[in-house]
């Protein structure tokens, strides 16, 4: 019998953790939060702050999650721990925290934990990641790169990510850190995937059918290279601007949707209430 993949939920970082925690609440509800058996595992590997995992445990418990357990993976050998692999076999969702995405790729990539995350997501378990955790979800990950609005040759370094999907490339803290240029550069290397730029406190809930809804208080930028007519990437020297002709761009807000397969965007329902302003 064909199985249904779980949701993939990249978050742009700095999601609300006090008050109307709409993104975390939506993820907890998706995983069955409020139900008697809901379980979520937290992987704080990207962060070097010691209490990150514990903080998310408390946040998810307050949202009705029965069991929220941090797996503080700090080395590749930790990824072989049978008790933690058993946890991943039983949970309804996994949440990867922010920090440095290279900590995730170098410690988890190619391990039993990475295999378990891909297998369980294919079986229906939901996987979310915020900031560095969001970048790591895809097959092609932006490891690091320079900021700025224009694409420039060799300003971005790519690395293999977790590989839950190869259809998108994700960049986070998008508007706040002026990252349009590096997302465009990443797409110019091979314009197969769709680029998703996530503002802070903004997420995409990517369903098994590859449609997603925008949830949060910022904007989500879509860069669609499927109709790209020309790219100068193969001819320019390091730091030179890259000429790209034929890109399509959408800016979506809370409640808007996008279909990755058909490349169609739709605004949220007319007259729907706007998202509440962020706390200062």
Q: Tell me if 195 sits within 8 A of 225, measured CB to CB.
A: yes
Partnered with residue 195 across adjacent β-strands are 169, 223
Q: Which of 6, 38, 11, 7 is nearest to 215 (CA)?
A: 11
Query: What is the spatial distance between Cα 53 and Cα 43, in angstroms, rounded to a whole number?
Result: 7
105, 131, 203, 256: the catalytic one is 131
Partnered with residue 241 across adjacent β-strands are 152
Q: Tell me if 61 sits within 8 A of 70, measured CB to CB.
A: no
Query: What is the spatial distance between Cα 220 and Cα 217, in angstroms, rounded to a whole number?
Result: 10
Determine the 3-state secondary structure of 255 from DSSP: coil
Q: Tell me if 210 sits within 8 A of 7, measured CB to CB.
A: no
Q: Is residue 173 annotated as part of the catalytic site, yes or no?
A: yes
15, 105, 140, 173: the catalytic one is 173
Conformation bin of residue 121: beta by default, left when phi > 0, alpha when psi is -120 to 50: alpha
Residue 8 in tokens: 């993939």
Q: At what angle do helices 82-90 and 112-123 cross, to 10 degrees?
A: 10
Conformation bin of residue 105: beta by default, left when phi > 0, alpha when psi is -120 to 50: alpha
HSE-up (13 A, CA, CB side) for residue 218:
23
Tokens 């039983």, residue?
90
15, 16, 57, 200: the catalytic one is 200
Query: What is the spatial distance between Cα 131 and Cα 15, in angstroms, rounded to a whole number?
Result: 9
Q: Tell me if 113 sits within 8 A of 127, measured CB to CB.
A: no
Query: Catalytic residue positions?
Result: 131, 173, 200
């Amino acid at each position: 019998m064909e199985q249904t993949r779980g949701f993939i939920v990249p978050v742009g970082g700095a999601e609300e953790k006090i008050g109307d925690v709409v993104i975390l609440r939506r993820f907890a509800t998706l995983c069955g939060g409020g139900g008697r058996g809901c379980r979520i595992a937290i992987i704080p590997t990207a962060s070097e702050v010691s209490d990150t995992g514990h903080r998310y445990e408390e946040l998810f418990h307050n949202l009705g999650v029965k069991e929220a357990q941090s797996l503080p993976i700090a080395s590749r050998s930790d990824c072989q721990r049978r008790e933690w692999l058993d946890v991943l076999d039983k949970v309804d969702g996994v949440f990867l925290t922010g920090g440095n995405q290279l900590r995730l790729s170098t410690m988890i990539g190619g391990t039993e934990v990475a295999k378990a995350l891909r297998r369980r997501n294919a079986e229906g378990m939901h996987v979310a990641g915020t900031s560095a955790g969001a970048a790591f979800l895809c097959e092609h990950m932006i490891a690091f790169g320079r900021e700025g609005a224009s694409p420039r040759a060799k300003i971005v370094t790519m690395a293999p990510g977790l590989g839950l999907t190869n259809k998108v490339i994700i960049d986070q803290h998008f508007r706040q850190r002026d990252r349009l240029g590096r997302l465009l550069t990443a797409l110019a290397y091979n314009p197969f995937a769709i680029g998703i730029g996530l503002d802070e406190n903004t997420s995409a809930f990517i369903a098994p059918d590859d449609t997603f809804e925008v949830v949060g208080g910022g904007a989500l930028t879509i860069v669609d290279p499927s109709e790209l007519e020309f790219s100068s990437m193969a001819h320019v020297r390091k730091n030179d601007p890259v000429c790209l002709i034929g890109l399509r761009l959408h800016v979506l807000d809370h409640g808007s949707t996008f279909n990755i397969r058909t490349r169609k965007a739709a605004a949220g329902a007319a007259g729907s209430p706007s998202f509440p302003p962020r706390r200062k």
